[in-house]
Each structure stands twice: as C-alpha cells, then as structure tokens.
Amino acid sequence: MIVALDGPAGVGKSTIVGMISERMGFFNLNSGRFYRGITYKALKEGVKIDDPEGLTRIAESIDFTVTDGTLMIDGIPAGKHLHSDMVDKSVAQVSAIVPVRHIVNKHLRRIGGSIDVIVEGRDITTVVFPDAECKIYLDASIEARAKRRFNQGTSNQTLEELFESIRTRDEIDKNKIEGSLQIAQDAIYFDTSDLTISEVCETLVDKINRRK
C-alpha cells in the first residue's frame, strides 16, 4: 500500500509520518531526505545553489538505498546533518530544479513499488504517486508552523526570521515550474494548526485504515 502525504514546510509532516510508519509498519519514504541529501552534498563539495547543471550532476551521482529499514545516502544513514540552517535555506531552490526532481521521483517510485510505504513531500499526491491508495494534505498557518519550529530549538533563527523563511519557502514551493505544492482533488485535507501531534496521528491512522 502507498500512503501519499503532501503539505507545506514546517507543518509537521516528518514527525507525523514517522509516528504513523512506526505504528502501522510502513516504511517512511521521506522525499525531503533525498533533496536534503543532494543539497548537503552540493554544499559540501562547493557546488553553488544557482548552478542547476552542477546540482543535477550531484543528484545523478548519489546512491540512494534502503538497508534494514533505513535510508542510506552514499552508504551513510540519513541523519540530523541534513537539517542544518544552511540546508534549510537552500533545499527549496534545489528541489525546484526539474531534472533533479525527475531523478528523485525515479528513486521514490523504485523504492515505493516494492514495499508498503508512507511518502511525504510537496507533490507526492499529484505527481509522484497520483494513484496512491490513500492521499492526505496536511496544512497549518504560517504562524503555527514558525512557532513549532522555534520551539523545537534546532534553529538559530528568531521567531520572526523563521516566519519569513517559511513564508518564502511557501512561495517557492507553490510556484515551481514542475512539482508545485497543490492539493489533490481526492486528498484528505487536514488543518493541524490547533491540534497536537498525537491528535493528528490518531485521526490519520483511522483514515488510512479505512482506505485499506
């Protein structure tokens, strides 16, 4: 079964999908980790974010595999190093490059075609897995998303800077040439602004079970 989930930056997709995948035994196929892996390697190797050819070359060179339930990027487990402020500031631009998206989508479909997965991203329900058995769109206000990110304590940015960063990210995501953030017509729309992570998880597990 494929559960596809879309939503804007900072809405809590990664946390929620992680909880659902553990509870239901689905592999957490996080598309953002692929783009973050490409961005991290590009920054590490000195490839400029405004160099689409260089970034595409980096994307083509990376080996994405799943070993013992863990996404491996060039043989290294995807980890916290992919969530630095530098990666956060650059990943939207990288993910907007069409050839890079094609490469990542190919990997997602390859992995998702062999095991039960829950996949999250920006265009999972509309482009990557349009025929998924269950489609979900998570949403929340910019204010709520900025406050959540600030309270996590993982960023050095102020609350105001996080608000602006998320607002900018939304604009980029919604206006990409390909793979823009949209709400699929047959997706379950769910606003999480005033809900706890546990409340969201409980509701979504029930909805997924009904689609089996």
Q: Mind listing the pLDDT tens digit for each residue in 10-44?
A: 898 989 999 999 999 999 998 889 999 999 999 99
User: Nearest-CA neighbor of 207 among 118, 140, 128?
Assistant: 118
Q: Which residues form the domain of 162?
A: 2-201
User: Nearest-CA neighbor of 123 among 78, 179, 47, 190?
Assistant: 179
Residue 155 confidence class, pLDDT cut points 50, 70, 90: confident
What value does the mean pLDDT of the chain take? 92
pLDDT value, residue 101? 93
Mean pLDDT computed over 185-200: 93
Residue 77 sits in a domain whose CATH number is 3.40.50.300
Identity (one letter) of the amino acid at 160? Answer: E
On whether residue 212 sits in a domain, the answer given is no
Indicate whether 79 pLDDT > 90: no
The half-sphere exposure of 197 on its side-chain side, counting CA atoms within 13 A, is 13
Helical axes 85-95 vs 98-112, angle rounded to 10°: 100
Into how many domains does the chain fold?
1
pLDDT value, residue 118? 96
More confident position, 153 or 11: 11
On whether residue 145 sits in a domain, the answer given is yes
What is the pTM (predicted TM-score) of this model? 0.80
The percentage of residues in the chain with a pLDDT greater than 70, rounded to a whole number, is 100
Q: What's the token pair of residue 206?
A: 């029930």
pLDDT value, residue 189? 96
Buried-state track 102-129, b at ≥16 Cβ within 10 A, e below 16:
ebbbebbeebbeeeebbbbbbbbbbbbb
Q: What's the token pair of residue 109?
A: 């479909």
On whether residue 211 sits in a domain, the answer given is no
On whether residue 77 sits in a domain, the answer given is yes
On whether residue 210 sits in a domain, the answer given is no
On whether residue 206 sits in a domain, the answer given is no
Model confidence pLDDT, tens digit, residues 104-139: 999 999 989 888 999 998 899 999 999 999 999 999
On whether residue 208 sits in a domain, the answer given is no
**Lowest mean pLDDT, pick from 159-168, 171-180, 183-192, 195-204:** 171-180
Indicate whether 212 pLDDT > 80: no
